[in-house]
Amino acid sequence: MAIDFVHLHLHTEYSLLDGVQKIRPIFEKISKNGMTACAITDHGTMAGVYEFWSMAKEFNIKPIIGCEVYVAKRKRTDKDATLDKGRYHLTLLAKNKQGYQNLLKLISYANIEGFYYKPRVDKELLEKYSEGIIALSGCMSSNFNRYLRKGEIEKAEQWIEYLKHTFRDVYVEIMKTNIDWADKLIPLQVKIAKKYKLPIVATCDSHYLEKEDYIIQEIAWCISDGRKLTDPQRRKYESTEFYVKTKEEMNDLFKDYPEAIKNTVKLAKC
């Protein structure tokens, strides 16, 4: 029998042109699969939170309100075309009412003061509005994983230390995406989690509902980037694994790290 699992990193159509799944079908699928909770972590926005919360109540599933924020490389007010066009991802989840209110403040300031290509927060905002928020180390576009990919282990560990200093609750995300370089990072991610006595959680960074829907996501990217599907230079997924997996699929994927599955449920009960 599969251990219960909770999706903690999930994008809806409110991640505009970077997420294509509607909210009701998400709950229809996870409810049918027997899941008891689910998070919403749209990119740089909380516009879908009310619809998500309402639908969760309809299906008797616990909603976990979150956001995948964009973190500025420097300060949120810095807008130099050479230095500030890039940004990092960070997954944040509200633990309580205070955390929810702080997420709203973070996203508001990100849009009002930090918007440069995307709405961005910075360390100052994260430190000021960290109360009641659970931080996950993030996807392959996070500060943590970009450092690991480049072999800059010390910088990756410094970022984890920063998260531990800033947030009371920190988890290290591990994903099995069928992308070779990304999957090879998992043992190192787990090693660092153990070094800093942090729990690991399994996520799948879902952007679409079913595996075959990856093409819809790529169409959305074409619209976003002003390209055609026939363009060989267009943005493409390196795998087709970023869909809403069942708990059976997640259990099978992470059979070598069962604690990463169990910890999703523990986090959902915080």
pLDDT tens digits, one per residue of 129-160: 999 999 999 999 999 999 999 999 999 999 99
Count CB-CB contacts under 10 A for residue 109: 20
Backbone angles phi and psi of 31, in degrees to 5: -65, -45
Q: 210 pLDDT band (50/70/90 cuts)?
A: very high
Mean pLDDT over 178-199 rounds to 96
Beta strands in the chain (DSSP E): 37-40, 62-72, 87-94, 120-121, 133-136, 169-174, 200-202
**pLDDT of 6 strictly over 80:** yes
Cα 179 from Cα 241, distance rounded (Å): 9
Domain covering 23-268 in this structure, CATH number: 3.20.20.140
Cα 30 from Cα 268, distance rounded (Å): 15
Determine the pLDDT at residue 229: 86
Determine the pLDDT at residue 246: 97
Q: Which residues contact 192 (CB under 8 A, 6 or more apart)?
A: 153, 156, 157, 160, 172
CA-based nearest residue to 42, from 115, 151, 116, 119: 119
- Among 37-41, 106-110, 154-158, 216-220, the minimum mean pLDDT is found in 216-220
Mean pLDDT score across all residues of the chain: 95
Length of the chain: 270
Determine the pLDDT at residue 1: 66
- Among 57-66, 77-86, 242-251, the minimum mean pLDDT is found in 77-86
Mean pLDDT over 72-80 rounds to 94
Determine the pLDDT at residue 8: 98
**pLDDT of 94 strictly over 90:** yes
**pLDDT of 263 strictly over 80:** yes
Cα 103 from Cα 99, distance rounded (Å): 6
Q: How many alpha carbons fall within 13 Å on the CB side of residue 154?
A: 0
Helices (H) and strands (E) in the chain, counts: 11, 7
Mean pLDDT over 48-62 rounds to 97
End-to-end CA distance of the chain: 24
